[in-house]
Amino acid sequence: MSEATQNLRRVPIVAALIMGAFVALLAQTLLNVALPKMMEDLEVSTNTIQWLTNGYLLTNGILIPLSAFLISRFSTRKLFLTAVGLFAIGTIVCAFAPEFSFLLTGRIIQAAGAGILMPLMMVVFLTIFPVEERGKAMGMMGLAMIFAPAIGPTLSGWVVEHYSWRVLFYIVLPLSIISFIFGFFSMKNVTQTGKSKLDLLGVILSTLGFGGLLYGFSDAGNDGWDSATVIVSLAVGAVSLILFVWREAVVEKPILDVRVFKYSMFSLTAFINSIITMAMFSGMILLPIYLQTLRGFTPLESGLLLLPGAILMGIMSPITGIIFDKIGARWLAVVGLLITTITTYEFSTLTMETSYSHIIIMYTARMFGMSMLMMPIQTAGINQLPRRLNSHGSAMSQTIRNVAGALGTALLVTIMTQAAESRGAELVKAAKIDPKDAANAAQMQEITTLATVHGINFSFVVATWMTLAALVLAFFIRRVAPAEDAKVVASSGAGSADSKSPAFSK
């Protein structure tokens, strides 16, 4: 097959995957701004409405480790259509849900589809593109993985201000149906399948381990680290995860092969990306609190602030991929993390007078730095894995990112809350006022505002140290050849078959 023909046959597969991923990631972030309005309409508490986010995250956390088994057991086409079909069904349930329980059910069905789709996309890209073209391929994937979550808050803010929150699902539904129809005609089978046996004990331990950790970290942001529910969830999750790692190391057919960590570059890049993910959540979570709660900006204004950064990341993603193919990930990561560290520190100096334009510039610059990081670093690590471990490496990377995101959310919110409470107590003591006295209400409101700003700033300081640690580690990233390619070259002097793209089949 000629290179031109091969590229032509890749296009519809890539388009179908990017379309499906874009819709899934858009839906994942659309609800963040709409949750207060949904809580009011559905007459549920804050803790209850958070399950629309936590339930989605938990389902992803349970299904993503299973994706390696599913990819080895079922054909690419069947898995893609099943994933997008589940997502469309979940969207229909959400759009017409008469009460909260139906809405939560729809979100879980959506998450089941997304949990299969995202690792599948990564594995297909790794399969149909040779190592020397993977940067460009991952850059195209980044269009969906970066752009969709970033425009979600802006779109959601505009819809919630003018229409019912159900319109969010009315927007997603036709997109998901179009994605299914397009994939039905364009998706081909590109991965090898076999009669893999499902390790039921591994599934149970994986569910308890990742599910327990994700729920514990997520709930800690709401109820605090001393909550009995949080402590029990984290304890069950940690013990189950240890048993899961042991099980997967000894079983013949693991559902998630922990031996990917034998490859040093994969381990290093997975660790760096987990730090970056945690730090990234500082901007996604703390800035809306600052803008809407303290500064009084509307959800739409808050979302619009994020838009220039989202557009820039979307533009930079394929460019970054091309640069990666030429020079590797190290210097992209170093430059990107240097920019990210500086701009994250800038956000630790917020005041009640910080201008809207300054925040836009700093956030856009921060997203410019981030655009050089996630996909190049992840690709550099996965490039070291032999092809047989691609699906396991993809699933492991996605799982680690989900756990890091949940931990980052809980950690940074807790740090903000505790720092704000501590500063508030200091200010009250210095002002020598009685917080319970109604006459001091206005002064107490001012103290609360100043204390919250301090808490947000301190949380950004912690995030700055995270990015600085990742910056130091980035100097150790290097280019590596896929492990089995190196063995073939050493033993036969011939190029590995893995450097060739597989045939496409229906």
Q: Are both 1-195 and 259-490 of the same fold?
A: yes
Please give the residue that has the higher pLDDT: either 153 or 91. 91
> How does residue 144 score in pLDDT terms, banded at 50, 70 and 90?
low
Q: What angle do CA 42, 47, 49 make, to 5 degrees?
A: 35
> How does residue 381 score in pLDDT terms, banded at 50, 70 and 90?
confident
Q: Are 111 and 59 in contact, with CB atoms under 8 Å apart?
A: yes
pLDDT at residue 499, as a whole number: 40
Please give the residue that has the higher pLDDT: either 134 or 279. 279
> How does residue 271 score in pLDDT terms, banded at 50, 70 and 90?
very high
Share of the chain above pLDDT 70, in %: 88
Query: Which three-class secondary structure state does DSSP give residue 284?
Result: helix
Please give the residue that has the higher pLDDT: either 463 or 115. 463
pLDDT at residue 35, as a whole number: 75
Give me the residue spans of the domains in the chain. 1-195, 199-254, 259-490
52-61, 81-90, 386-395 — which one is most confidently predicted on average? 81-90
How far is residue 238's CA from residue 176's CA, in Å, rounded to a whole number? 36
Say how many C-beta atoms besides its own lie within 10 A of residue 503's C-beta. 11
Quickly list DSSP for 150-188: HHHHHHHHHHHHHS-THHHHHHHHHHHHHHHHHHHHH--
**Residues 60-68, mean pLDDT to the nearest whole number:** 78
Please give the residue that has the higher pLDDT: either 299 or 81. 81
> How does residue 488 score in pLDDT terms, banded at 50, 70 and 90?
very low
Please give the residue that has the higher pLDDT: either 7 or 451. 451
Q: At 164, phi and psi to the nearest 5? A: -70, 150
**Residues 30-42, mean pLDDT to the nearest whole number:** 78
Q: What angle do CA 394, 397, 402 make, to 5 degrees?
A: 125
Which tokens go with 405?
């995101």
Q: Are 309 and 363 in contact, with CB atoms under 8 Å apart?
A: yes
User: Beta partners for 505?
Assistant: 189
Element (H, E) at 459: helix 441-474
How far is residue 276's CA from residue 222's CA, in Å, rounded to a whole number? 23
**Residues 352-380, mean pLDDT to the nearest whole number:** 88
**Residues 191-218, mean pLDDT to the nearest whole number:** 80
pLDDT at residue 197, as a whole number: 75
Residue 259 has pLDDT above 70, yes or no: yes
**Residues 467-485, mean pLDDT to the nearest whole number:** 84
pLDDT at residue 83, as a whole number: 92
Give the model confidence (pLDDT) of 394-442 as tens digits.
Answer: 778 878 887 787 778 778 887 888 888 889 888 888 877 766 666 667 7
Element (H, E) at 199: none
**Residues 449-465, mean pLDDT to the nearest whole number:** 91
**Residues 273-279, mean pLDDT to the nearest whole number:** 88
Share of the chain above pLDDT 90, in %: 20
Q: Quick one: CATH architecture of 259-490? A: Up-down Bundle (1.20)
Q: What CATH topology corresponds to 1-195?
A: Growth Hormone; Chain: A; (1.20.1250)
> How does residue 496 score in pLDDT terms, banded at 50, 70 and 90?
very low
> How does residue 89 score in pLDDT terms, banded at 50, 70 and 90?
very high
pLDDT at residue 192, as a whole number: 73
How far is residue 372's CA from residue 360's CA, in Å, rounded to a whole number? 19
Residue 491 has pLDDT above 50, yes or no: no
State the pTM of this model. Answer: 0.76
